[in-house]
Amino acid sequence: MFESRMKMMRRAGLAVFAAGAFGSWQTALAVGTAANTTINGQATVSYSVGTVAQTPIESSPTGNSTPGGGAPTSFVVDHRVDLTVSEVSGGNTPATPGQLNLVTGFLVTNTGNAAQGFQLTPANLTGGALFGNTDNSDAANLRVFVDSNANGVYDAGVDTATAIDTLAADAGVAVFIVADIPGTAIDGSFANVQLGARAAVAGTNGATLATETAGADTPGAVDVVFGDAGNDATEVAADQYAIASAALSVRKTSVVVEDPVNGTTDPKAIPGAYVEYEVQISNTGTASATGIQITDPLPANTAFRTGAFEGGTSDVQVTVGATVSYCDAEAGSDTNGDGCYRTATDLVVGTPALSTVDIAPNNVVSVRFQITIN
């Protein structure tokens, strides 16, 4: 390989370069020369005395005049501790109040020139903006886990390590913050969290923090130098939980639809008249509300009117957006499983007739039923 490269260089005159060699140098630059590498420098001088060329002389650290002799001037590459921590997704993690074990992902990369361990610390941030959103909430029960199986996804029970034992130079590993969102978190709030990584001695599972060689340099030994921003062997990155919740409002209206005297023309609220109630639920939050159930006490001196809809076959009309459906409000319990029934005092409308109140476009649900005035 090297031989053929040299031939190519000769053919090319001064245009001496091989793509293969260049590629490998770039790799070397990315990782940095490994700690404890000895670097040797040695110059050679050629000269002549009178008209006679002399044997070239090699240099030494203290000076050499013996032809061909000499010794390299050497030093050992020290251990530069360096790391980066970055947020992976480039966006926030959607969350709802009370949600457990929500994951944010980070990448910790060893940009130093020797294997390194890392201690990992999750934290809630206070204030400050990320992704254009200001932190105004906190996540709870913050935990940190290393992506032990290197699949880029948090696997509960599998990714259990809470520190990086050893990370080779130039290698990276995913780290997850796993947190719970308090049930009291409000819609539209943001909880910013931060992952801190602190360099530790490789193989100590993050327990023994790396220390910089103090005081004077130790010639010939591998010293530890903190080369990261801030020279503290610590880097951080932030991520965000965006808390979305449903915000429901309920409105109830009534209208007299028919009376025994006027029929359906300008009906009045006289005994025997039918009054239609509409219960309207609107979701102005940023997440769907599920498991919705309406319990509406039936007014005194009235009787629930069965068969008010669909030509006398249905008791309750449910409208979700543009979709209209009906159910039967059996007395006692929901024997047909359509979600509607009534007790002696209440009308109950729930799953499946009504289960979800979405955000737009179907963010308004109305339930209609009728009573008869006694």
Partner 1 sequence: MNAYAKTLSVIVLAALPAGLALAQDAGCIELKTTAQTERTVIGADGKPHTQLAPATTVVPGTEVIWTITATNVCDKPAGNVAIDSPVPEHMSYVADSAAAAAVTVSYSIDGKRYGSPAAIVVREADGTTRSARADEYRHVRYAMRAPLAPGESLSASHRTRVQ
Q: Which residues contact partner 1 by CB under 8 A?
A: 6, 9-10, 12-17, 19, 22, 25, 28-29, 32-33, 35, 37, 39-50, 52-68, 70, 72-80, 113, 213, 217-220, 223, 225, 227
Considering the complex, state which of residue 144 and residue 224 has its C-beta at the smaller distance from partner 1.
224
Q: Least distance to partner 1 from the beta carbon of 68, Å?
A: 7
Peptide bond into 94 cis (omega under 30): no
Handedness of CA 138, 142, 147, 151 (dihedral sign): negative
Residues 281 and 296: their CA atoms lie apart, in Å, by 13
Are 97 and 184 spatial neighbours (Cβ–Cβ below 8 Å)? yes
Are 292 and 352 spatial neighbours (Cβ–Cβ below 8 Å)? no
Considering the complex, state which of residue 29 and residue 344 has its C-beta at the smaller distance from partner 1.
29
Are 211 and 224 spatial neighbours (Cβ–Cβ below 8 Å)? yes
Considering the complex, state which of residue 79 and residue 342 has its C-beta at the smaller distance from partner 1.
79
Residues 6+ apart with CB under 8 A from 352: 337, 338, 339
Residues 244 and 170: their CA atoms lie apart, in Å, by 38
Are 93 and 133 spatial neighbours (Cβ–Cβ below 8 Å)? no
Q: What are phi and psi of 9, to 5 degrees?
A: -60, -40
Q: Least distance to partner 1 from the beta carbon of 233, Å?
A: 13
Q: Least distance to partner 1 from the beta carbon of 2, Å?
A: 12
Residues 48 and 55: their CA atoms lie apart, in Å, by 9
Residue 79: other Cβ atoms inside 10 A: 24
Q: Least distance to partner 1 from the beta carbon of 86, Å?
A: 20
Considering the complex, state which of residue 134 and residue 218 has its C-beta at the smaller distance from partner 1.
218
Considering the complex, state which of residue 35 and residue 178 has its C-beta at the smaller distance from partner 1.
35
User: 129-130 and 83-87: which strand pairing?
Assistant: unpaired
Considering the complex, state which of residue 8 and residue 158 has its C-beta at the smaller distance from partner 1.
8
The closest of 90, 239, 105 to 172, measured between CA atoms, is 105
Q: Least distance to partner 1 from the beta carbon of 9, Å?
A: 5
Q: Least distance to partner 1 from the beta carbon of 59, Å?
A: 4
Q: Least distance to partner 1 from the beta carbon of 220, Å?
A: 8
- What single-letter amino acid sits at 56? P
Considering the complex, state which of residue 170 and residue 258 has its C-beta at the smaller distance from partner 1.
170
